[in-house]
């Protein structure tokens, strides 16, 4: 077996690690427990740079943790920790005359574990349930409350009325998702590590089969034709639950950036925004910009707002005023009418060659070289 000199020993002191280039392969070198080892540097999950991660010591051995999503490999054997079957490539290492040499080829080749089932296969393969003739209306409630202390919520009530109207007057199929009933982690910002670390399906969903965002992804991306998002106003903005969901939808928009792939086509969005005080237009503006970045379209007059104004601090009267409001009954119905009408129209649009005037990874400054 041929060995290649890669590094002076003094450049890899004890308790350190480094990435080296071996022809067209990147290899991670590790110097721990008085031993130098070498494994493939590209994580088998999504290609993260292993040697930039943290080292963890356990009874099973010494493991490198991928800085992108936390996949782990034993720095000596290349194996994952107990229960994980991924095998990273492993290289022989020897030290001669103060220099580190590694084998030209791996003595153990990389192997990704094969799983009998993929719980996210429908998302990965984009198995759309909406059709040219479907009318599926999804309601997403962003109102937070203690489920053990149920109360009337104006945004919830308006959303329930909207879905009931869609069923009764338009014969639509409806679903209601209350974000407060789902357990899902906030976005953990893997995009800030590398743009390719933000994946579809979301890497958090891949790590946690019970991730509460998975039913949101399925309903929003695969099932819905019309999406109605309802939120209260919290300090002049949409609710924290709304933003928590929105951040986890970065993986949808990022498919445009990375792969020029539009996941949302021929889908309509409308908004229901309620608050004791005003700021409806600002909230509607932010929501509209965000959802158009995902690919949704909007009918004229795409939001309904409810507010009793700046000085209306008598919130004990807010619910009764809302329930008596002729405006709310009419406006919710007309929002649904507008969304359904537009949905039927855009179903005829050919989106096969849809253009996306958004940033693309190949246009990033580091990828553009002007002569």
**CA-CA distances (angstroms) from residue 111 to 80, 88, 103, 142?**
11, 6, 19, 42
73 falls within a domain = yes
Q: Using DSSP bridges, classify how beta strands 25-32 and 35-40 pair: parallel, antiparallel or unpaired.
A: antiparallel
In a domain, 361, yes or no: no
CATH number of the domain within which 164 lies = 3.40.50.360
CATH number at residue 88: 2.102.10.10
pLDDT, mean of residues 308-320: 83
Domain limit, last residue, from 55, 74, 103: 103
Give the total residue count for the chain. Answer: 371
Residues 193 and 342 grouped into a single domain: yes
Identify whether residues 237 and 180 lie together within a single domain: yes
Q: Which of the listed residues 40, 73, 103 is the one where a domain comes to its end?
A: 103
- Note whether 23 and 6 are within 8 A (CB): no
Q: Is residue 41 part of a domain?
A: yes
The answer to whether residues 358 and 364 touch, using CB atoms and an 8 Å cutoff, is no
CB atoms within 10 A of CB 101: 19
Taking Cα atoms as reference points, which of 195, 206, 110 lies closest to residue 365? 195
The pLDDT tens digits of the residues spanning 54-85 come to: 999 999 999 999 999 999 999 999 999 987 88
Domain annotation covers residue 311: yes
pLDDT tens-digit readout, 114-126: 877 889 999 999 9
Mark whether 89 and 152 lie in a shared domain: no
Shared domain check, 62 and 173:
no
203 & 69 share domain: no
* Together in a domain, 197 and 303: yes
324: CB partners within 8 A, 6+ apart: none
Residues 218 and 335 in one domain: yes
Please compute the mean of the pLDDT values over residues 212-237 and round it to a whole number. 97
β-pair type (99-103, 61-65): unpaired
**Boundary-marking domain end, from 45, 69, 103:** 103
Q: Is residue 10 part of a domain?
A: yes
Please indicate, yes or no, whether residues 42 and 76 belong to a single structural domain of this protein.
yes
225 and 193 belong to one structural domain = yes
Asked if 35 and 91 sit in the same domain, the reply is: yes
Shortest CA distance to 227 belongs to which of 349, 130, 147?
130
Q: Angle, to 10 degrees, between the axis of helix 326-346 and the axis of helix 154-170?
A: 50
- Long-range CB pairs of 72-77 (<8 Å, 24+ gap) are 73/39, 73/43, 75/28, 75/30, 75/32, 75/37, 75/39, 76/35, 76/37, 77/108
Q: Are residues 196 and 281 in the same domain?
A: yes
Q: What is the pTM of this model?
A: 0.89
Asked whether residue 359 is domain-assigned, the answer is: no
Look at the chain and report how many structural domains it folds into.
Answer: 2
Q: Which domain holds residue 84?
A: 3-103
What separation in angstroms does the CA of 280 have from each of 230, 238, 310?
A: 12, 9, 12
Residue 215 scores a pLDDT above 80: yes
Residue 370 belongs to a domain: no
Among 27-31, 172-176, 193-197, which stretch is predicted with the lowest mean pLDDT?
193-197
For residues 228 and 167, membership in a common domain is answered with yes
What is the structure's pLDDT at 273? Answer: 97
Rounded to 5 degrees, what angle do the CA atoms 49, 54, 56 make?
130
Q: Would you state the pLDDT for residue 367?
A: 64
Is residue 181 a part of any domain in this protein? Answer: yes
Confidence of residue 309 (pLDDT cuts 50, 70, 90): confident
């Amino acid at each position: 077996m041929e060995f290649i000199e890669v590094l002076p020993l003094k450049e890899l002191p004890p308790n350190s690690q480094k990435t080296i280039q071996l022809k067209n392969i990147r290899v991670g070198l590790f110097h721990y427990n008085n031993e130098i080892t070498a494994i493939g540097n590209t994580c088998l999950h999504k290609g993260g740079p292993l040697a930039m991660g943290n080292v963890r010591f356990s009874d099973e051995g010494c493991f490198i943790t991928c800085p992108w999503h936390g996949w782990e490999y034993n720095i000596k054997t290349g194996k994952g920790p107990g229960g994980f079957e991924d095998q990273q490539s492993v290289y022989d290492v020897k030290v001669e005359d103060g220099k580190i040499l590694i084998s030209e080829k791996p003595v153990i080749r990389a192997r990704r574990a094969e799983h009998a089932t993929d719980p996210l296969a429908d998302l990965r393969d984009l198995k759309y349930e909406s059709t040219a003739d479907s009318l599926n209306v999804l309601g997403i409630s962003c109102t937070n409350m203690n489920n053990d202390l149920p109360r009337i919520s104006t945004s919830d009530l308006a959303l329930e009325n909207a879905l009931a109207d869609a069923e009764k007057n338009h014969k639509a199929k409806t679903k209601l998702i209350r974000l407060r009933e789902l357990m899902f982690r906030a976005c953990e910002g893997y995009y800030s590590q590398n743009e390719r670390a933000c994946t579809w399906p979301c890497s958090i969903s891949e790590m946690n089969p019970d991730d509460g965002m998975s039913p949101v992804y399925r309903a929003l991306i695969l099932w819905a034709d019309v999406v109605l998002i309802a939120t209260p106003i919290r300090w002049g903005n949409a609710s924290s639950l709304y933003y928590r969901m929105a951040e986890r939808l970065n993986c949808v928009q990022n498919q445009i950036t990375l792969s020029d792939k539009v996941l949302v086509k021929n889908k309509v969005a409308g908004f229901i925004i309620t608050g004791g005080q005003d700021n409806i237009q600002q909230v509607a503006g932010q929501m509209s910009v965000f959802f158009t970045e995902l690919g949704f379209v909007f009918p004229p007059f795409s939001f309904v707002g409810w507010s009793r104004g700046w000085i209306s601090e008598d919130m004990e009267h807010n619910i009764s005023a809302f329930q008596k409001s002729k405006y709310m009954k009419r406006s919710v119905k007309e929002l649904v009418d507008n969304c359904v009408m537009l949905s039927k129209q855009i179903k005829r649009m050919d989106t096969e060659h849809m253009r996306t005037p958004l940033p693309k990874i190949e246009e990033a400054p580091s990828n553009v070289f002007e002569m």
